Structure formats: structure tokens, C-alpha cells
Homo-oligomer: A and B are copies of this chain.
């Protein structure tokens, strides 16, 4: 015990950050913690705390630049409550959420272009109300459509440190699957036009005519 304390006893700043985040009712940015503690630089303390809690039943995590403590994911089966706080999302809402997250900022028309159906207004409202999607301004094109993006609450809910953590986003981007159909079409046609013999990349969305070549 005394040995451990000597090694591991946290200093005052670490203790203060730990207490602040334990007491906080919502995730806090490093800046907010610093302001709350009178301007101290808390980054090192945060890193130290995150390391300390690694492997414990409680973890310190960063989600969209905000920090909070949460229970360890592997203990989920012990902690699930009868009354689930999690919203049940319709399939439409789930798809819209994924499209917003992977494409943000994105207009409703762009969401509809990907889904091939009109999106009921209520679907976006559910996501706005959940606090996972926000209005991120307007696109400066004719009609100035409203564009949507995800929120820090979205990242916190799905356990993402940032949008870079979205599952498979790098692969999707590399495969061009986050580009508009028009761009992909143009690229694919150009490729086919340039040389049918050239080996078609796996990411090109090869047209039917060149199925064999790309295979």
C-alpha cells in the first residue's frame, strides 16, 4: 500500500481534474476543465488519469474533444438496466444518421439521393432532438439548403473519439464510396475510356462491361 502510494499518489492537479470530471454532469473539454480550475494546464493530468484508469471498471475517455468517465464496455452485461435509456431508432433514422456522420456536412437532398427515397421530416427531427445531429448552416448554392452535421453528443453516445473513428470510414473514402455518384461515374467512365486493358482498381466501381477485367 505505502509502496503503491509512493509510486502512484496523484498530485493535486490530477486529483482536481479527477474530482471535476467525476462531479461534472456532462463531458468537458480540456479548456473547460482548465477554466474551472483557474487556468491550469490539464492535458498532462488528463493523459495520466486516462492511463491510470485503463483496465479498471471505470474509464476516462475523450469524445469529440470532451472528456468523461464511463464504465468499461466489457462490463455492459452486468450493468444493463431493465429500463433502457437508449432511443430505439427506426431503420430510416439509423440510415440517415450514418449518412450524415459519414458525409457531413450534408443537405437533406444529398441524404435522399443516397437513400433513393424522400426522407420524412420527422426522421431528421428525431436525430436533432436526440442531440446527435445539428444544423450546420446553409450550403452556398442556389436555394441555400440547410446542411446537417453530427454533434459531440453523437460521438460520446457511440464511443467515438472523433469522426476519424467512424467504423470503416477510411476504407469507404479510399473506395470512393463517400464521393457523389456523379464523380464516381465520371471517374469510372474516364478509366474505362482511357484503357480497357489497364487493370481497374478495386475502388473504381467497375462497370458491368469490364467485370472480368476488374475481377
Q: A: which residues have CB within 8 A of B? A: 1, 3-5, 7-10, 14-20, 22-23, 36-37, 51, 54-58, 69, 71-72, 75, 78-79, 81
Contacts and interface: CB of A to CB of B under 8 A. Distances in A.
A19 B75 contact: yes
A10 B78 contact: no
A8 B15 CA distance: 19
Nearest to A79: B23
Given A4-B7, A4-B8, A81-B36, A19 B72 contact: yes
Main SS of the interface on chain A? helix
Contact of A22 (B7, B16, B54, B58): B58
A57 B3 CA distance: 19
Contacts of A55: 5, 9-10, 15
A50 to B, nearest CB: 12
Given A1-B51, A14-B57, A78-B37, A71 B19 contact: yes
A15 B56 contact: yes
B20 A79 contact: yes
Contact of A57 (B4, B18, B71): B18
Contacts of A58: 18-19, 22
Nearest to A18: B57
Given A22-B71, A36-B81, A51-B1, A57 B7 contact: no
Contacts of A3: 7
Contacts of A75: 15-16, 19
Contacts of A56: 10, 15, 18
Nearest to A17: B57
B5 A57 contact: no
19 contacts: A1-B51, A5-B54, A8-B8, A10-B55, A10-B56, A10-B57, A14-B57, A15-B57, A15-B75, A16-B75, A18-B56, A18-B57, A18-B58, A19-B71, A19-B75, A20-B79, A22-B57, A22-B58, A22-B71
